[in-house]
Amino acid sequence: MSTFQAPKGTYDLTPPRSATFLAVREAISAPLRDSGYGYIETPGFENVELFARGVGESTDIVTKEMYTLTTKGGDQLALRPEGTASVLRAALEANLHKAGNLPVKLWYSGSYYRYERPQAGRYRHFSQVGAEAIGTEDPALDAELIILADQAYRALGLRQFRILLNSLGDKECRPVYREALQTFLRDLDLDEETRRRIEINPLRVLDDKRADVQKQLTDAPKLRDYLCDACKAYHEEVRALLTAAGVAFEDDEKLVRGLDYYTRTTFEFVHDGLGSQSAVGGGGRYDGLSEMIGGPELPSVGWALGVDRTVLALEAEGVELDLPATTSVYAVPLGEEARRVLFGVVTELRRAGIAADFAFGGRGLKGAMKSANRSGARYTLVAGERDLAEGVVQLKDMESGEQTAVPLTEAAAELAKRLG
């Protein structure tokens, strides 16, 4: 065992479980790639001010959870706590919005960092796959992203998740609601920190998970009663498009998410099998974020789905993914000449696109066959001095146990035929 361990609240991904995480990332990204979303990758750290402006100075993410550092040159940086601000910054810096083909549709995958109290389903280092559609205000775009996430989850075999949907209004109608909500909240019995939040971003109080706070919010003014006609029409179009696509959702008037940049459409994917940390992903529209970080007006929408949370949801439902075999053929040489010959066969198989491994280290037949079993190989190739003298190798079907001698020169072709 090493002297060192992974930092508190983080985890290592090791085989075989890591294969599940790779499969989840692939399943989430596949419908995005098929829908015109191009891959983007951003640095693991950014200027602190990017998140302070974009995510919101009053959010828990910025005030309590960001990992920050000062470089030797005096720059203030933060490990990225979320992906949207970074992706939008990168898109603006590369002038992708000026290419004349809006929306700019991007997807990404990576690790993110927040200083949180570690518990099941909540880590200080976590993995997400995200998607952003930048530069267009269209309810069909909001619906598209929700539908693609729903498609990804269902492709994985998940069935017990729910989609929560709400509208947060826009810069015209939300200030009116904000004032009404502040008036209501100021009369409640709340702690000092929550009272400060009332003055900075009162909608965040609605997201407070404490039971004593939620009990007092029963009669809080409803945002839907303050939506302007344009926001109402926009939200109804999103709802109609989802319904027409056969995607079930639940209206949740208290859904505000934890980031300040959301406007109009906001949504969350929850799985009741995960306990208190039920959210597996979410997102929404953020029409003003580009201006917040110094860019032009670019109405946009996006989401991020937690890979860690999705894996936990699969486990909660008992879903076992059909993972591709990491090794299809395992070569077992018996003797030095067989090592040289079979190593050449393995190289040939790999060049042909067949997953092949080799019994390294000069182990005996018994130990090498145990390794072949552990690797999940469908076939083994075994050869010793007598086999080579006869110009053959022993091909064993690990499922049936049947073993046949095949000409050495035809081994690769025979395996390609059997493996399809």
Mean pLDDT confidence for 103-115: 95
> Domain boundaries in the chain?
17-173+227-317, 329-419
Positions of E strands within 232-327: 250-251, 263-271, 279-285, 300-306
Higher pLDDT, 221 or 131: 131
Q: Which pairing describes strands 161-167 and 250-251: parallel, antiparallel, or unpaired?
A: parallel
Whether the per-residue pLDDT at 207 is higher than 90: the answer is: no
Q: Which helix (H) or strand (E) holds 95?
A: none
Using omega within 30 degrees of 0 as the cis cutoff, is the peptide bond preceding 103 cis?
yes
pLDDT recorded at residue 203: 82
Whether the per-residue pLDDT at 91 is higher than 70: the answer is: yes
pLDDT recorded at residue 342: 95
Rounded Cα distance between 356 and 62, Å, is: 48
Residue type, 20: T
Residue 356, beta-bridge partner list: 329
Q: Which pairing describes strands 263-271 and 300-306: parallel, antiparallel, or unpaired?
A: unpaired
pLDDT recorded at residue 260: 66
Residue carrying structure tokens 């989850």 = 153
Three-state DSSP at 188 gives coil
Whether the per-residue pLDDT at 378 is higher than 90: the answer is: yes
Decide: 18 and 52 in contact? Cβ < 8 Å.
Answer: no
Rounded Cα distance between 245 and 148, Å, is: 11
pLDDT in tens, 119-160: 777 889 999 999 999 999 999 999 999 999 999 999 999 999
In this structure, the number of other CB atoms found within 10 A of the CB of residue 144 comes to 21
Whether the per-residue pLDDT at 315 is higher than 90: the answer is: yes
Contacts of 336 (CB under 8 A, 6+ apart): none
Whole-number Cα distances in Å, 317 to 127, 160, 325, 364: 20, 8, 23, 42
Instruction: Kindly state the percentage of the chain with pLDDT values over 90.
Output: 70
pLDDT in tens, 13-52: 998 899 999 999 999 999 999 999 999 999 999 999 998 8
Residue type, 242: L
Which of these, 200, 165, 162, lies nearest to 181 by C-alpha position?
A: 200
Higher pLDDT, 324 or 365: 365
pLDDT in tens, 276-312: 778 999 999 999 899 999 999 999 999 999 999 999 9
pLDDT recorded at residue 80: 94
For residue 326, give both structure tokens.
Answer: 């990491």
Higher pLDDT, 140 or 172: 140
In terms of C-beta density within 10 A (0-12 exposed, 13-18 middle, 19 or more buried), how is residue 363 classed?
Answer: middle
Phi-psi region of 312 (alpha: psi -120 to 50; beta: other; left: phi over 0): alpha
Positions of E strands within 185-278: 250-251, 263-271
Contacts of 216 (CB under 8 A, 6+ apart): 188, 189, 190
Rounded Cα distance between 169 and 256, Å, is: 11
Three-state DSSP at 264 gives strand
Give residue 59's pLDDT band: very low, low, confident or very high (50, 70, 90).
Answer: low
Structural fold of domain 329-419: Rossmann fold (3.40.50)
Q: What b/e readout covers 264-301, taking b as 16+ CB neighbours within 10 angstroms?
A: bbbbbbbbebbeeebbbbbbbbbbbbbebbebeebbbb
Three-state DSSP at 204 gives helix
pLDDT in tens, 210-220: 888 889 988 88
Structural fold of domain 17-173+227-317: BirA Bifunctional Protein; domain 2 (3.30.930)
Whether the per-residue pLDDT at 258 is higher than 70: the answer is: no
Averaged pLDDT score across all residues of the chain: 91
What phi, psi does 404 have (nearest 5°)? -135, 150
Decide: 141 and 318 in contact? Cβ < 8 Å.
Answer: no
Higher pLDDT, 397 or 116: 397
Mean pLDDT confidence for 256-273: 84
Three-state DSSP at 225 gives helix
Instruction: Kindly state the percentage of the chain with pLDDT values over 70.
Output: 98
